[in-house]
């Protein structure tokens, strides 16, 4: 596997190696796309340099290039697989209610006997991440590893973009890259680093990813009470106070959920993933040192026991809420991951509205407020 990394700010950091263009090549791009004409021109340059390659990417809330964070930029990883195959599928989505169907269709489009892994890059707002992963899980064999993330739009929550195969950034699109062959290897890990506070409340009324009441109180009223002075800045300020969700009183597995939108008239809150009625929710707040430790632990868990060869690529997808909280310390999170990964590993990624990674059960699910890492290489 051969990897080349490029970064565009006022210009490219180095010339393209066009010899890597092939049917076995994946080109990943993350950046200020859909809004920035300069970045759009740069995307066109990449696509003209790699016309045979499978191109994927999305808008972000910050771009990851090795151990550095950039904004208003474009980061690019060109990965030529030597012994494995790569395939792309994409589907348009107009409503969150289509999420499960889209997941099934993408899985069906990619399924083959030698499919090893799927990387999902999805629309960030018009999506129910829980149902998207349920659709994927309903079709894909258990051994197929699914990771990825939801496109970001900084803290604006207005519009996100995903790259079409024709290299145009478009809203309302979900794309998937499949990796095939016995020589392909993948490892993944995720960690949070948030502390719970306050009492655990029952989710007494919800519909899919819309939360109506907690302990029979209007959900938005409860949320505003906890946010205090930050309530006027919703939905962006909710990134600082995610919810920890258990699906039942006896459930041990915790999922973290963040807010996508609020409805003042209904006093409801829309989340990136399902809020199970009868489940339980607890507010969370940041612990700065634990956020950075969480990134380190995600990398440590992923690399443990793996015989990783040189020329490995780490795809880092971290929640925008972590970036907003860590601020100047954000790059410590990125440095922590590379400290653990094998020497020579390159890293690309973005800050997102949601992360997709296998749970401890093995099936993929939506995460929020995590650092999610995917390591790919060949043997």
Least confident of 47-56, 180-189, 206-215, 239-248: 239-248
296: confidence class by pLDDT, cuts 50, 70, 90: low
Angle at 168 between CA 162 and CA 169, to 5 degrees: 30
State how far Cα 192 lies from the chain centre: 13
Average pLDDT estimate for 35-61: 95
Question: What is the 3-state secondary structure of 192-218?
Answer: CCEEEEEEEEEEEEEECCEEEEECCEE
pLDDT value at residue 248: 85
pLDDT-above-90 percentage for the chain = 63
Within 57-179, where are the H helices? 99-110, 129-139
Task: Report yes or no: 244 and 306 within 8 Å, Cβ to Cβ.
Answer: no
Per-residue model confidence (pLDDT) at position 157: 85
Say if residue 248 is exposed, middle or buried (CB neighbours under 10 Å; 0-12, 13-18, 19+): exposed
Which is more confident, 215 or 240? 215
List of residues 6+ apart from 155 with CB closer than 8 A: 61, 236, 239, 320, 324
- Euclidean distance between CA atoms 149 and 83, whole angstroms: 26
Structure tokens at 291: 């956020």
Reply yes or no on whether the pLDDT at 305 is more than 60: no
What average pLDDT score do residues 13-21 get? 97
pLDDT tens digits, one per residue of 202-227: 999 999 999 999 999 999 999 999 88
Q: Where are the domains of the chain?
A: 2-191+289-378, 194-286
Map residue 321 onto helix, strand or coil.
Answer: helix
Q: Comparing C-alpha atoms, which of 294, 284, 300 is closest to residue 340?
A: 300
pLDDT of 336 reads 81
What average pLDDT does range 129-150 have in this prediction? 95
Instruction: Say whether pLDDT at 326 is over 80.
Output: no
On the question of pLDDT at 259 being above 90, the answer is no
Using one digit for the tens of pLDDT, what is the confidence trace for 80-105?
A: 999 999 999 999 999 999 999 999 99
pLDDT band for position 310 (cuts 50, 70, 90): low
301: pLDDT strictly greater than 90: no
pLDDT at residue 328, rounded to an integer: 72
Give the model's pLDDT for residue 204.
Answer: 97
* For residue 113, pLDDT beyond 70: yes
- Can you name the residues that pair with 148 across neighbouring β-strands? 120, 356
Does the pLDDT at position 165 exceed 60?
A: yes
Other C-beta atoms within 10 Å of 332: how many?
16
- Sign of torsion over alpha carbons 318, 319, 321, 323: positive
Mean pLDDT of the chain: 90
Q: Is the pLDDT of residue 288 over 80?
A: no
Stated as kind and residue range, the H or E segment containing 152 is none
357 pLDDT above the threshold of 80: yes
| Per-residue confidence band for 65, with pLDDT thresholds at 50, 70 and 90 | very high
User: Who wins on pLDDT, 239 or 273?
Assistant: 273
pLDDT on residue 252: 76
Confidence of residue 302 (pLDDT cuts 50, 70, 90): low
How big is the chain by its Cα radius of gyration, in Å?
A: 20
pLDDT at 293: 67
Cβ 198 vs Cβ 226: under 8 Å: yes
Higher pLDDT, 136 or 335: 136
């Amino acid at each position: 596997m051969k990897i080349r990394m490029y970064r565009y700010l006022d210009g490219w950091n180095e010339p393209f190696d066009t010899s890597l263009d092939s049917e076995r090549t994946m080109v990943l791009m993350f950046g200020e796309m859909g809004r920035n004409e300069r970045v759009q021109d740069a995307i066109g340059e990449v696509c003209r340099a790699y016309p045979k390659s499978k191109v994927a990417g999305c808008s972000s809330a910050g771009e990851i290039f090795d151990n550095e964070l950039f904004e208003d930029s474009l980061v690019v990883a060109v990965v030529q697989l030597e012994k494995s195959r790569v395939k792309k599928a994409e589907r348009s989505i107009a409503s969150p209610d289509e999420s499960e169907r889209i997941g099934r269709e993408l899985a069906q489009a990619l399924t083959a006997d030698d499919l090893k892994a799927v990387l999902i890059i999805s629309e960030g707002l018009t999506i129910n991440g829980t149902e998207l992963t349920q659709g994927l899980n309903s079709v894909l064999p258990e051994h197929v590893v699914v990771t990825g993330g939801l496109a970001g739009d900084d803290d604006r929550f207005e519009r996100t973009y995903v790259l079409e195969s024709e290299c145009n950034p478009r809203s309302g699109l979900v794309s998937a890259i499949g990796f095939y062959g016995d020589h392909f290897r993948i490892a993944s890990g995720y960690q949070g680093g948030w502390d719970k506070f306050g009492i655990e409340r029952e989710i007494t009324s919800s519909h899919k990813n819309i939360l109506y009441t907690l302990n029979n109180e209007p959900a938005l009223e409860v949320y505003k009470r906890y946010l205090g002075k930050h309530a006027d800045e919703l939905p962006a300020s909710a990134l600082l106070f995610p919810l920890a969700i258990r699906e039942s009183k006896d459930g041990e597995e915790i999922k973290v959920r963040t807010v996508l939108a609020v409805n003042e008239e209904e006093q409801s809150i829309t989340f990136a993933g399902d809020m199970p009625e009868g489940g339980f929710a607890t507010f969370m707040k940041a612990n700065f040192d634990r956020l950075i430790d969480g990134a380190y632990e995600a990398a440590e868990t992923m690399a443990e026991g793996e015989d990783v060869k040189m020329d490995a690529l780490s795809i880092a997808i971290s929640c925008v809420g972590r970036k907003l909280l860590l601020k100047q310390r954000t790059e410590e999170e990125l440095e922590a991951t590379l400290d653990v990964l094998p020497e020579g590993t390159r890293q690309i990624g973005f800050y997102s509205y949601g992360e997709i990674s296998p749970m401890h059960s093995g099936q993929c699910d939506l995460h929020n407020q995590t650092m999610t890492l995917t390591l790919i290489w060949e043997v």
